[in-house]
Structure formats: C-alpha cells, structure tokens
Structure 1
Amino acid sequence: MEMSFFKILLFLHLIINAGFAVPVFGGKVPAVYVFGDSIFDAGNNHFNRNCTAQADFPPYGSSFFHHPTGRFTNGRTVADFLSQFMGLPLQKPFLEAQLDIMKRNQTNYPSNGINFASAGSGVLAATNQDMNVTPLGIQLQQFKSLVEQNQIQKNLEKESLFFLESGSNDVFSYFYPFPAPTLTPDAYVQAMLTQVTNFVDQIYKLGARRIALFSLGPVGCVPARALLPGAPVNRCYGKMNKMVKNYNMGLENIVKAIPTKYPGAIAVYGEVYRTVQIFRANPTQYGFTDVTNACCGSGTLGGLVQCGKEGYKMCAKPDTHLFWDYFHPSERTYKLISKALWSGGPAQIRPMNVKTLANTTSSS
C-alpha cells in the first residue's frame, strides 16, 4: 500500500531536519562519474569557450565557494553533496581535467571521478545545439574515450557510482514557440527515454555496475516559465509537468529493468520531483519563505533575466528561496534534496538510497 502523503512528509521532515552535519559513511566508493545538465555541471561549460550557457560570473558561487565556479547555483550541487557525504573530493569537470593534462599540470585524470555534465544540454542531441552545449551522447563519448585509453580502469568502474540527471532542457525546449515541435508530447518523451536506455546500455558495457538515475524536478514550476508565451505565472505550467512526470515514470521503469537486463548491475531511482513538491507544499516547515520567485534575476518571478546579467537583483537571504535563479534551485534546496537521496526511504529514492547503494557490492 502506498505511503500516505502525511507519512512521507513526516519522514522527509525528520531526515532533513535532523541537522546539517555530513552523514557518517562507513563504505568505500573510490570515484563518482557524473553526467547531465546544469543541475550537475561543475563548470564544464566554462572550459568550452564556444558555449553560450555560462555561470562563470558573480554572484554564482557566492554562498559557498565565494567565487564563480561555473555551477548554476550559489554553492554546491546534488552531485557535490553526495560526493562529500561519501568522503570524496568534488569531481573536476572533464574539460578542466583534460586541459590540465594538455598543459602538463597533471599526468593522469583524477582518481575520485570526473564530471561530464554540461549546462543547457539534454538527452537529445538537438536540444540547445545552437548554444554549443555538450549533449548526453557526447558526454558518453568523452567517458568512453578515457576507458579506451586506459585512463579509467575497469575494476575501478565496478566499484564507482554513476550519476545521471538530464532531460529538463529537452522538456523546456519543447515549449519554445519556434520551431514548432514535430512530435507529440508522448513521442518526444519516448525519444528522450530511448537515449537514456542507450546511455545505460553503453556505460554498462564500459564497466559501470552501480548506477543512480535521478528524476527531473517540477520543471513547469521554474521562474523561467515566464519567458514562454501562454505559460501561467500564478501557478506551475501543468502541461510541462505532465511531460516531466511521464518521463520520470519511464526513467523508473528503466531502473527497474536494469538488474535483469544487465547482470551484476544495481540501480536506484531518485524521486526528486516528489521531494521538491513537498517543499513547495510546506515551505515554512523546511525553512523557505519563497518557493516561487528566483532569489537572483529580474522581471516576472525573477524569471526574465539571468542572475548576474544586466539589471538583475538579488535577495538578501538565498537560503530562504527554493530557487536561486530563473532555472535552478538554491544551494540549500540542493542540500535538502541530497539528504533525502542519501538516507531517505522509498518515497524519496528506491529500491535503496545512495548510502546503501554505496555500501552494496556489485556481483560481477
């Protein structure tokens, strides 16, 4: 029987408000390999000079790093927090690590994993192509090239974790007025899921055995919906969230099939959507005073101007805002999500949480 909304809320509240100390972790994960978009990007786009999707200027990074890092928030991302919970240093962006080797600053790629995520990218190659972002398929090729060059050992991969969060930009792009979409919403979502299935298939063949696929959050609630003609500003964009939920359902089905389809592989599905919706439904319980507007931006919902661009304004207390800028959560929101993914129950992540996944050994 499904857990009641009240029980989920109580459980989530207990986990998240049990203090902000980093959880004690007894297992050993040597490395984390991160794929996705701006939710995970640790600065790859900064090292891609042709890319126009950038957050390498103030006030990005101001609350934790105290300088811009290329992350699209005021501090750390979910990938950063989960790595810290495992006692790992933060993963370097692939393009930064590659540059270090080309300049002979380093002789090897980092042993704690690599971040391949690119802000603005999607699981579909065409998404934001004009911005020169790195889509999921190219991220996969970057990883594959390192494996083929023996820069990453297969025995290390089997002990490592693989994180994927991507799809928000694909869904948001579907609602741009030009060009008009040629696929129905269902067919478009299916095309996205085909790419994710291919990604899982390829990383398994390359040695991955512990995989975490994270759902999209409620993309239809981001302040940037104010940029879209016809999108409501007094509530979330229902049509967009419907596509998100369909994609998330397909994502969970991929996770469910992994143990049977790929011998020795273990996978988890992170229920980010529901977790964020609980924050939105009960803001004061989680320390939020604003779950609608961007802390940093301008115009309707703070969603018309990117944080840091001309004319932007910034709120006094970023920690009280669910959203940092027009698309992205604040560091505090990311921390709350991370704690739910790390040690939460089945309502937040299933069939096990990231802490349990990190402690579970692959059988092949």
Structure 2
Amino acid sequence: MKQNALIISFFLLFLWPIEPTPSHTFNSIFSFGDSYADTGNLFILGSQNRIPGPVVSDNPPYGMTFFHHPTGRFSDGRLILDFIAQAFDLPFLPPYLAHNGSFQHGMNFAVAGATGLDYSFFVKKDLRSPSVENTTLNVQLGWFLELKPSLCTSFESCRKFFHKSLFIVGEFGINDFSVAILGGKTLAEVKSYIIPSLVKVMSKAIERIISEGAWTIVVPGNVPYGCLPVILSLYQSKNEIDYDPHTGCLRKYNELSLYQNKLMHKAINQLRLKYQHVRLINAEYYCPISEFIKYPKHFGFIDKPLRVCCGVGGQYNFNIRQGCGMPGVHLCQNPSTYLNWDGVHLTEAAARYITRGWLRGPYADPPILTAINN
C-alpha cells in the first residue's frame, strides 16, 4: 500500500512543473548554508588563498549538466537553491564574496565546509578545523547585516523589502558532525552537546533574521548522514546489524540526523508560537533522500542508489583520496540516473525532485507555495 502511494507521489512530482503561478512571487532570496547551497563562495576563498588546498568544484566535470562548465557548485548542475530561484523567476544567486553586480534580487552567503556552530565553540571542545573559522552561520549572518544598508536605509524600508524576500537557513549539520567525529568525539558526544548547541545557534540566527523583517523562512533539516557514500566508506562495518536493511545506510550515523531534525522541528514550532506573523517552513532532506534510496527505480535512479556518479573504486564508487574533479576519476554515463554526485552531494536530478517537494509538498511543512498563499 505504501509503495503504491509512493508511485502515485512520484508521478505527481514528475508531472507538476517547478514553476509556480505568476501570483506567487518574491523579489529576492537570501541563502545561508554549506556546500549544498554554495554557488561559488568557497572557490573565491580558494582563489584568494584563504583556505588550504585546491577547490575541486572548480574542475570538470562539475557543472557539466546545466552550466556546461564548473561554477563552484558541488554538483553536476543546478542546486535546490537554483531551482527555487528559477521557480520565482529570479536570477541565480551570486556568491557574496564575488562583491559585484546588483544585490537587489538577493545574495548567497553559503560556503562549502561551513558549520552552524562557531569556531570558538570547537576550540573550547579542543576541536579545530581550518574550514570553519571564517564561514560559520554567524559569520554568514554578519555578511548579511553588512550588506543590508545597500538594500534599504530605514527599518520601515527594510521591513517592506524583506517581507517580499525568501530566506533559506540551512542545511547545517553535516560539517558540524564531521569536525567532531574526525576530531575523535564519539557519536554519543555529538548527540549530547553538538546537536543541541547547533539547534540553539540556528534558532538564534532565525530570530535575528526575523528581527530584520524577514517574513518567509525555509529551514532545511539535515540529510541522512549515514547514507552519504563518504561516511559509508570511512566507517564500514562487518556487523550486518549496523546497516538499515531497507536502505543499506549506517543506522547510528543516521540517528544523529534524525535527532537533529527532531530538535530543530521542535524549535521551529516554538518560534512559530512566538512569531505568529512569520511563515516558518520546515523543509526535508532526510525523507526524500531515504525514499530515493528505498525506491530508486520509481525516481529514475539506478538500482544501486548509494553508488557515486563521479568517483572511483570500492562498493560505492568512492575513494576519499581520489575524489571527483581529480585525475583518473571516472564519470558515469548519465548523471540524471544517479542520486549522489561525488560522495557527499546530490545530482541535479535529485535536487530537482526535492525542490518540487519543497514547493508543493510532501517534503516541506508547510509547502512553500501553500505558505505564501495563506
């Protein structure tokens, strides 16, 4: 019965266009996040030698499907953020660090590798990473506040401008988990103090954005962390019970995402009670990605959905030392039939499906188009 319902849901998602009716509109979009939303900020940091090592997303075959060249996006093509911009007839969001062009249609502050938690938090826990210091959620929020005077000059003008803007805060969590785990913290420690602290920081950031006049805010939850090929490769287990029999994903790592999403959903409900005039939308990564893995053929994906399109070696076609964009790495024949692009990030095809679910349901509560119609 559930499978039949999913098939119907799939065909509805396939038939519905992403583009809403002309009455649904925003004048701008402002995005905060990590590599799931980065449109070039990390590449700019790399070109300025502000981060260690090369940025592989500026190498082919990144960007091959839609842009036909690398753009700094960690995908073969468009991200969910790009599809949302197109849905509202807005231009693709420029990366904030480019500092050129008009900001009137919004700005993207997301940076690949960014954490939700501050650098100082990790230092206090004896955890350090060169990628987190200058790109965290609060740093991105600071960039937004620096940009604001170029968009509006008074509280009233800002309120009017941001009432017609869409704000997207997240996804955050993948990098917070990874910094802690790679730093030697246990999964229990991640659950006990990393996740609650992250949810608190995100809640405060959302409140600050609301105080600036934001009216419509999308808050994406975390992805199924234990389904990422990078995690599946790094933490392989010989114990069959460690894997979900329906997905092949690592249970304990997925439990971290589920716990974060549960706490964040509770926090959003509390914010809804406090700010009843604001449209707060809880968007899903976990549910759609899990469904893609369970029923790949219904979504046009290969029957081994955990395998990577752009990668090399092993059960998941992934090698942490030889990633996409590096010499000798293989590319699948048809990225549109793959869920995962490079071991961490989604293909354009997966992003398209999720965007439809955020706009019209069932992957958002409430769906974005429902929220702005009420």
TM-score category, normalised to shorter length: 0.7 to 0.9
Deviation (angstroms), 1:263:
4.4
Give the equivalent residue in structure 2 for 1:91. 93
Mapped partners of 1:317, 1:8: distance in 2: 27
> What is the percentage of aligned positions where both structures have the same residue?
27
Which residue of 1 is the match for residue 15 of structure 2?
A: 18
Q: Does 1:160 align with 2:165?
A: yes
So what's the TM-score if we normalise by structure 1?
0.87
Aligned to 2:222, the other structure's residue is in SS state coil
TM-score by length of 2: 0.85
2:29 pairs, out of 29, 32, 45, with 32
Q: Given the alignment, which residue of 200, 205, 212 partners 1:199? A: 205
**Can you give the 5+ residue segments of structure 2 that lack an aligned partner in the other structure?**
123-127, 153-157
CA distance in 2, matches of 1:19, 1:314: 30
CA contact (8 A) 1:226 1:303 kept: no
Q: How many residues align?
A: 343
1:9 is matched with 6
2:256 aligned with 1:256, yes or no?
A: no
Root mean square deviation of aligned Cα: 2.3
Deviations 1:306-358 (A, max 9, x none): 2111331111111111101110010000001111111114xx211x2111234
Residues 302, 173 of structure 1: CA spacing in aligned structure 2 closer, same or farther, 3 A cutoff? farther
Aligned counterparts of 1:294 and 1:194: Cα–Cα separation in 2: 34
Partner of 2:151: 151
C-alpha distance in structure 2 between counterparts of 1:8 and 1:201, whole Å: 37
Q: Which residue of 2 aligns with 1:354?
A: 368
Task: Give matches, 1:1-364, under 5 Å.
Answer: 5-6=2-3, 9-18=6-15, 22-48=19-45, 49=48, 50-51=50-51, 52=53, 54=55, 55-96=57-98, 98=99, 100=100, 106=101, 109-126=102-119, 129-131=129-131, 134-147=135-148, 149-152=149-152, 153-164=158-169, 165-176=171-182, 178-180=183-185, 183-230=189-236, 235-289=248-302, 290-300=304-314, 301-304=316-319, 305-345=322-362, 348-350=363-365, 352-360=366-374
For the 8 Å contact 2:7–2:298, the answer to whether it is kept is no
Instruction: State the alpha-carbon separation in 1 of the partners of residues 54 and 369 from structure 2.
Output: 32
How far residue 293 of structure 1 moved from its aligned partner, in angstroms, is 1.0
**AA of the residue aligned to 1:296:** C
Opposite residue 129 of structure 2, the aligned amino acid is Q
Q: 1:163 corresponds to which letter in structure 2?
A: I
CA distance in 2, matches of 1:267, 1:131: 29
* Contact 2:191 2:259 survives alignment (8 Å): no
Post-superposition Cα deviations, 1:105-129, rounded to whole Å, max 9, x if no partner, equal: x4xx421111110111111124773
